[in-house]
Structure 1
């Protein structure tokens, strides 16, 4: 089995207008960095932030962290220039905000093709509008189209609350239908999905509880707004030693010749189906990828 799966437990937003933050990001133990040109950057700083991000990405030094550039919307005054600059910078991915339909991603993908961006440059989609919630399955289906390059959903819960007028209260009960719809859509598209941010970065207990909720929902990780959130995020979204040991055990037993044709077996007094072994393969792959990052 290969470990081609990439851990995306944590994705930290870093403002592109803050040169010190872009430099500090090189030393943070985070899986993904979202270098932001959109919400975190004032209008009069957009051009400077764009130049800083391009220089930072091209300069390297981010190691095995997945580097993502969030551009402004393509219908804004900065979007087209942002996308062109991001293509030139060659990050791991470009995050498209306010995605409402597959057409928004297809438009961006067309620009990547025209700019001769290598296939290693992927697209991520912000899911943060009412229309995105209604079109989640169609948007996620872009993950099955190699020309569109979609590899991840990012939940924009703050914008979703603003656009729907729903309350973003502790427990997020009113958000749950949209969050779970996007999880289901992501799975049909074969892509990852990252939970939205937790705004009170000083409330580590509340943050940990929301991470646990994200794990229960099946999220692959969470977006962060402060480095102090990284540790709790990794603790929540990393498979435990017990989970990994169990996954390895049932896969080893299913691999025995006498179990090759069986759909279910007994392990330690429990009935285990082959689907549990398949689920375990991902647990093992994530654990191996995390270990590889830690040992790098």
Structure 2
């Protein structure tokens, strides 16, 4: 599975920004046709995004598009325009439950067949923004094509309105939501994705919030501004100290294992097979990040 530490939103109507995207060093881009596009400019933005997908994918960029949604169905015009060669996936706003995801998957399959794209190529990242979708996080995460679900904790956004919480920098009011999304995603074998940090110029607050999200088990975040990308990338990448620590653990354990010992002390702590398995997973993540560069 790809590593998505940073998924950067770019408004679909801002065509003049598209050429800058390859310089942003994010793991994936989300060209947005939804909330950042005025209603009267939806068709124009759709055309811009459709044209940008092959250009960006040719640069090796993972391209997602956030499409529009009515009361019950996702916008067919959006789908017909953006489901094309080079598209990595669709970001789905405000799903109510797995039934919508399954219905959309059938529509996308028809489009893939028509275009000669291998069935299943286009993946989904649902944004859990309604109370029902949060309650059904695991069921949504288990749907075909879903590679990640989001546990957002923004101030005054759709999630805040849906749950009625009052935002604080400490984030206690969204702790349960975020933890539930992480657990649901992990149980389903997909990526738990956090965000969104709205005070984009408060970089210290961004770093602190992202560090807490990583502690909870998130693997990356949706990002609103290019200046936030390096910070989120750093937070969600194992540090040099972590790499040294886990590499040393594996080495020490291998030496002990040759002596017939599988429960040892390493830097003052008990270590056995479970801890070494964690260490190897961390280093595998590092290797994946290096290969994706």
TM over 0.5: yes
**How much does 1:36 deviate?**
0.5
Q: For 2:140 and 2:91, how far apart are their aligned partners in 1?
A: 14
Q: Would the aligned equivalents of 2:57 and 2:86 in 1 still touch at CA under 8 Å?
A: no
User: CA-to-partner distance for each residue in 1:139-194, whole Å, 9 max, x for gaps?
Assistant: 1222xxxxx11101123432110222211221121111111111110000101121
- Report what 1:129 is aligned to: 130
Question: Residues 193 and 218 of structure 2 are in contact (CA less than 8 Å); yes or no, is this contact kept in structure 1?
Answer: yes
> Which of 151, 155, 160 lines up with 2:147 in the alignment?
151
CA–CA separation in structure 2 for the residues paired with 1:98 and 1:241: 38
Aligned: 1:98 with 2:98: no
Unaligned 5+ segments in structure 2 are: none
Distance 2:73 2:97 in 1: 20
1:120 aligned partner: 121
Q: CA deviation at 1:131?
A: 0.6
Alignment of 1:1-296 (within 5 A): 5-60=1-56, 63-73=59-69, 75=71, 79-116=75-112, 117-118=117-118, 119-142=120-143, 148-157=144-153, 158-254=157-253, 258=257, 264-294=263-293
- CA shift, 1:251, in A, is 3.4
- Comparing 279-288 and 267-276, the one that deviates more: 267-276
Deviation per residue, 1:241-275 (Å, 9 max, x gap): 12122323333455569459876443344311222
Q: Which moved more, 1:246-255 or 1:111-120?
A: 246-255
Structure 1: distance between partners of 2:37 and 2:103: 24
Superposition deviation, residue 75 in structure 1: 4.3
Kindly report the root-mean-square deviation, in angstroms, between the aligned alpha carbons of the 2 structures: 2.3
How many Å separate the matches in 1 of 2:259 and 2:17? 52
Match of 1:199, SS?
A: coil
Deviation, 1:123, is: 1.0
Answer yes or no: is the 8 Å Cα contact 1:74–1:80 preserved in 2: no
Query: How many residue pairs align between the two structures?
Result: 285
> Whole-Å Cα distance in 2 between the matches of residues 169 and 113 of structure 1?
42
Give the structure-1-normalised TM-score. Answer: 0.88
Give the Cα–Cα distance (whole angstroms) in 2 for the partners of residues 129 and 254 of structure 1: 46
Quote the offset at 1:64 in angstroms: 3.5
Q: 1:230 to 1:60 in 2, by over 3 A?
A: closer
Instruction: Please give the alpha-carbon distance, in whole angstroms, between the structure 2 residues aligned to 1:62 and 1:219.
Output: 29
Deviations 1:90-121 (A, max 9, x none): 41111111122111111111112112243332
Q: CA deviation at 1:35?
A: 0.7
Partner of 2:147, secondary structure, is: strand
Asked if the contact 1:221/1:237 (under 8 Å) is kept, the reply is: yes
Q: 1:212 to 1:132 in 2, by over 3 A?
A: same
TM-score relative to the length of structure 2: 0.89
